[in-house]
């Protein structure tokens, strides 16, 4: 469980600073009050937290500036004071009996956090142990944020009781015996905690026996880690805290969270109340009061069952009855309403008069609809509503609608029939019912189970074998299932949808002269023509190669093809290229219905060779270079000066040693323990240590934004698809790297003939050997031979 508190350590309105060691797992923050400075720190690594609890912390302070004047690094190092050595959490007997302190004590000393494996310690046990440590650290920080005393006892807080006025300090927190476990922050006697601001946008929501209080945390999330909620009777100012423990805001959906907190106050005595909110800082301070807002709690709803008994109907009236609803609560009711809607889903509108008595148990609709849904509602003096489920009421109706008019139909030639008619005008019309019969004098049957609300219908008869005509009738129905008279029988003639018999492609062969084909014609008498069609395989777009009208079949006589067969036609189109082609032979009748042969696929003769890559040349260029370093500029200059002075035979002063060591410690490159160790080294040892550290973290020059440029020539034609660049990196096998369309090289139309082309590889790194080759790929599958290889190293 990862620690997700949005606050823990924030820059308050006092003098405070960020942790100075970016790679450290500790973050330190400070806040001043009067003549004291309070420190808090966070540890992100659960293992480091356990080590710190075992080994203890060192709290140090160094003077950084006095009266606004920053001291030299040497003077800062000389001002070091250890405020506390071996700071550890309170032992088991040092905790109070409050819930918060006992919870913190369990985090440190309860063995419930220990993982005991069932057998051998396996991967699942390791994951459980890791989660257990993360949970302990999460709750430790959460408890420290809620109570300053708990933070002190958990050894996650410290108070500097002797800072000087107008002085700025560097405070450093280190874990004893752990390299790199050190971090610092700026602090001093700056602004007072009175500069804290109140929470804003405080609102209340009245409830049944409760009041919900809400406030914005967006403006104060960098100030407060917890909040207290206070309540007072509306006619007084006797505020008392209503939350037992400090309230902590936690976002349930961090990405979409509006950063608005809510607290529910259970109020046993109903009435009006005032509320105010105060924020709590992680340093143990309480922010100013918010504005007062008023809220009200009320009694809960009554145990009242609402049910409508019946809706009595005649042809002109609807009467509602709900005599079963008890009248024992009439004295606390303030209103009764009747709602009506045309659909059970609403919208419902009030149709009763405002003067309808709360004791009424019967009501007659003065202007009823043919059909409507009704609901009855009572409202009590506390604003609670009691409502029946919607119930349908319908006026009696035995009058059928008129027979539909304008009934027409047409066969659309695709196996479907379109039926249309004029709409009826009855207000209670539900729809229409289409009846069908396949033979004259046969029985008509509905074509759909439900009535159709539209004034058209498409009857799909594909695959149905019927006579030359099909027969329909139509009737209308209202909401009471009253049916109209049927229309006269509508006769719809059928269109011929039967295609002719299929022709046959008997033989298709690729020869050096072209594609040789032979076929057999369809034998149906209504065929008006045959077509031989061709397309690039799978493209979907067919081209007619030859059309043979009826009666012209003898013009395509069988000719000798080879020793084993004969042909009707030779497709020798010069546009045929090296790719697969589909062929089909189709017969068409008078209705343009076609029947095709099986599709046959083959490829023309072609060896695939296309052109030659020439003049391949290579070069490179880098736009700029950068110098990177992990050292502070001042610290880096001190290190180079000390190294140069020692190499030239000079000595290193103690002040310079302390100055550079202070900078290294504040940068997180050495620990507080190493500070004293390095200070005792000889000049040669000290300079050697600095040289090694400078070599690892000092300036390094890197070429940036490099590109390798290739140039070659090739004879262009419309059939060239792209150029394939092959690349080898660090001696790896040549692999396809980039496919460059021909249009990439030209802003306008693509020329033909041999052209000089160029391309730059921007994904190039300094000091690496690259090898390139290029080949051309044609749309028909042809290609050039690979070019000669070229090599380059960017350096």
State whether residue 673 is helix, strand or coil.
helix
Residues in a beta bridge with 708: 620, 761
Q: What is the pLDDT of residues 753-790, one digit of tens each?
A: 899 999 999 888 877 899 999 999 988 777 888 888 89
**Stronger pLDDT, 591 or 204, i.e. the higher one:** 204
What integer pLDDT is reported at residue 723 of this predicted model?
Answer: 94
Q: Which of 40, 50, 294 is nearest to 146 (CA)?
A: 40
| Nearest CA-CA partner of 393 in 406, 411, 374 | 374
Same domain, 94 and 181: yes
What is the reported pLDDT for 286? Answer: 87
**Do 540 and 472 belong to one domain?**
no
Residue 751 has pLDDT above 50, yes or no: yes
Question: Could you tell me the two tokens for 401?
Answer: 């609608």
Q: What is the domain range of residue 660?
A: 630-697
DSSP string covering 674-730? HHHHHHTS-HHHHHHHHHHHHHHHS-EEEEEEEEEEEEEEEEE-TTEEEEEEEEEET
The residue among 298, 318, 335 that closes a domain is 298
Domain boundary among 465, 493, 521: 493
Partners of 310 in the β-ladder? 321
- Residue carrying the six token digits 């420190």: 39
pLDDT, mean of residues 639-656 = 84
Q: How confident is the model at residue 22 (pLDDT cuts 50, 70, 90)?
A: very low
375 and 239 within one domain = no
- The answer to whether residue 736 sits within a structural domain is yes
Phi, psi (deg, nearest 5) at residue 96: -75, 170
Rounded distance between C-alpha atoms, residue 447 and residue 454, angstroms: 14
Q: Rounded distance, CA 2 to CA 673, Å?
A: 31
Lowest-confidence pick of 393-402, 419-428, 459-468, 778-787: 459-468
CA 118 to chain centre: 40
Q: In this structure, is residue 14 part of a structural domain?
A: no
Please give the Cα distance from 455 to 446 (Å, whole number). Answer: 16
| Count of structural domains within the chain | 7
For the four alpha carbons of 671, 673, 679 and 682, in that order, the dihedral sign comes to negative
Residue 712 near residue 616 (C-beta atoms within 8 A): yes
Per-residue pLDDT reduced to its tens digit, 103-147: 888 888 887 776 666 656 666 767 777 888 888 888 888 888 888
- pLDDT bin (cut points 50, 70, 90) of residue 21 is very low
Whether residues 319 and 289 fall in one domain: no
Instruction: Give a yes or no: residue 140 inside a domain.
Output: yes
Check residue 674 and give its pLDDT. 83
Across the range 535-545, mean pLDDT stands at: 88
Mapped onto helix, strand or coil, the DSSP state of residue 741 is strand
* 596, 722: one domain: no
Residue 741 predicted with pLDDT over 90: yes
Domain assignment of residue 2, yes or no: no
Is residue 360 included in any domain, yes or no? yes
User: Is the same domain home to 654 and 778?
Assistant: no
Percent of the chain with pLDDT over 90: 40
Structure confidence by residue, pLDDT tens digits, 210-249: 899 999 998 888 888 889 999 999 998 999 999 988 898 8
Nearest to 342 by CA among 394, 292, 300: 394
* Same domain, yes or no: 362 and 508: no
Domain shared by 460 and 512, yes or no: no
CATH number at residue 463: 2.60.40.10
Residue 573 lies in a domain: yes
pLDDT (tens digit per residue) in 361-388? 999 999 999 889 999 999 999 889 999 9
Q: What is the pLDDT of residues 309-357, one digit of tens each?
A: 999 998 889 999 999 999 999 999 999 999 999 999 999 999 999 999 9
Same domain for 565 and 654, yes or no, is no
DSSP for residue 81: E
Split at pLDDT 50, 70, 90, the class of 648 is confident
Rounded Cα gap, residues 463 and 460, in angstroms: 9
Flag whether 458 is in a domain: yes
| Selection from 487, 312, 299, 329 nearest residue 392 by Cα | 312
pLDDT at 476: 95
Where is the domain boundary, 298, 324, 347? 298
Q: Does a structural domain hold residue 433?
A: yes
Residues 337 and 382 in one domain: yes
Decide: residue 46, CB within 10 A, 0-12 exposed, 13-18 middle, 19+ buried: buried
Please tell me whether residues 53 and 171 are part of one structural domain.
yes
Among the residue ranges 291-295, 375-379, 461-465, the one predicted with the least confidence is 461-465
Co-location of 457 and 339 in the same domain: no
């Amino acid at each position: 469980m990862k620690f997700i508190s949005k606050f823990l350590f924030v820059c308050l309105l006092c003098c405070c600073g960020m942790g100075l060691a970016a790679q450290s797992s500790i973050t330190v923050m400070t806040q001043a009050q009067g003549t004291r400075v309070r420190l808090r720190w966070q540890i992100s690594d659960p293992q480091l937290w356990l080590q710190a609890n075992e080994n203890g912390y060192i709290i140090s302070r160094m003077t950084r500036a006095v009266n606004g004047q920053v001291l030299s690094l040497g003077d800062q190092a000389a001002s070091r004071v250890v405020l506390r050595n071996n700071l550890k959490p309170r032992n088991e007997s040092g905790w109070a009996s409050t819930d918060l302190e006992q919870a913190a004590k369990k985090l440190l000393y309860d063995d419930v956090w220990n993982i005991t494996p069932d057998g051998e310690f396996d991967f699942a046990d390791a994951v459980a142990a890791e989660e257990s440590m993360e949970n302990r650290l999460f709750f430790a920080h959460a408890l420290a944020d809620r109570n300053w005393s708990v933070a002190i006892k958990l050894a996650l807080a410290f108070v500097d009781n002797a800072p000087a006025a107008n002085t700025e300090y560097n405070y450093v927190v280190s874990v004893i015996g752990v390299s790199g476990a050190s971090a610092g922050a700026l602090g001093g006697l700056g602004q007072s905690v009175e500069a804290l601001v109140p929470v804003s946008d405080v609102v209340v929501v009245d409830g049944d026996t409760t009041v919900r209080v809400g406030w914005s945390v967006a403006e104060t999330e960098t100030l407060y880690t917890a909040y207290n909620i206070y309540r007072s009777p509306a006619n007084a100012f006797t505020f008392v805290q209503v939350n037992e423990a400090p309230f902590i805001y936690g976002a349930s959906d961090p990405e979409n969270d509006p950063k608005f907190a809510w607290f529910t106050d259970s109020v046993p005595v109903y009435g009006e109340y005032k509320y105010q909110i105060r924020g709590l800082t992680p340093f143990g301070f309480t922010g100013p009061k918010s504005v007062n807002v008023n809220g009200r709690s009320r009694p809960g709803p009554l145990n009242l069952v609402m049910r409508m008994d019946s809706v009595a109907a005649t042809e002109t009236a609807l009467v509602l009855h709900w005599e079963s609803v008890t009248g024992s609560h009439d004295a606390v009711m303030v209103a009764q309403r009747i709602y009506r809607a045309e659909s059970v889903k609403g919208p419902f509108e009030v149709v009763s008069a405002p003067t309808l008595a709360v004791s009424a148990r019967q009501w007659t609709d003065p202007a009823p609809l043919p059909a409507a849904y009704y609901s009855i509602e009572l409202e009590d003096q506390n604003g609670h509503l009691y409502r029946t489920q919607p119930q349908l009421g319908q006026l009696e109706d035995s009058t059928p609608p008129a027979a539909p008019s304008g009934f027409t139909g047409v066969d659309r030639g695709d196996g479907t029939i379109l039926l249309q008619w004029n709409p009826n005008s009855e207000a209670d019309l539900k729809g229409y019912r289409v009846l069908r019969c396949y033979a004259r004098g046969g029985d008509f049957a509905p074509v759909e189970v439900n009535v159709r609300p539209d004034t058209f219908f498409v009857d799909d008869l594909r695959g149905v074998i019927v006579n030359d005509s099909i027969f329909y009738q139509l009737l209308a129905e209202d909401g009471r299932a009253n049916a109209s008279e049927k229309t006269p029988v509508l006769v719809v003639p059928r269109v011929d949808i039967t295609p002719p018999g299929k022709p046959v492609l008997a033989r298709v062969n690729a020869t050096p002269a072209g594609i040789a084909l032979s076929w057999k014609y369809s034998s149906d008498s209504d065929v008006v023509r045959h077509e031989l069609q061709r397309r690039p395989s799978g493209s979907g777009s067919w081209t007619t190669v030859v059309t043979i009208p009826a009666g012209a079949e003898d013009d395509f006589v069988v000719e000798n093809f080879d020793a084993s067969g004969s042909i009707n036609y030779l497709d020798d189109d010069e546009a045929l290229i090296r790719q697969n082609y589909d062929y089909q032979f189709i017969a068409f009748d008078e209705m343009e219905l076609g029947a095709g042969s099986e599709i046959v696929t083959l490829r023309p003769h072609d060896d695939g060779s296309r052109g030659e890559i020439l003049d391949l040349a290579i070069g490179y260029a880098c736009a700029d270079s950068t110098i990177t370093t992990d050292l502070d500029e001042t610290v880096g200059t001190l290190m180079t000066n000390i190294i140069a002075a020692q190499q030239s035979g000079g000595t290193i002063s103690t002040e310079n040693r302390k100055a550079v060591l202070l900078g290294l410690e504040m940068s997180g490159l050495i620990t507080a323990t190493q500070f004293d160790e390095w200070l005792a080294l000889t000049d040669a040892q000290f300079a050697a240590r600095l040289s090694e550290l400078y070599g690892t973290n000092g300036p390094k020059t890197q070429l940036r934004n490099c590109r390798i440029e290739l140039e070659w020539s090739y004879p262009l034609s419309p059939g060239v698809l792209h150029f394939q660049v092959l690349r080898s990196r660090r001696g790896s096998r040549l692999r396809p790297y980039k496919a460059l369309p021909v249009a990439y090289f030209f802003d306008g139309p693509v020329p033909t003939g041999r052209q000089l082309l160029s391309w730059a590889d921007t994904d190039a790194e300094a000091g690496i050997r690259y090898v390139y080759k290029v080949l051309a790929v044609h749309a028909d599958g042809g290609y050039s031979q690979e070019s000669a290889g070229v090599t380059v190293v960017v350096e």
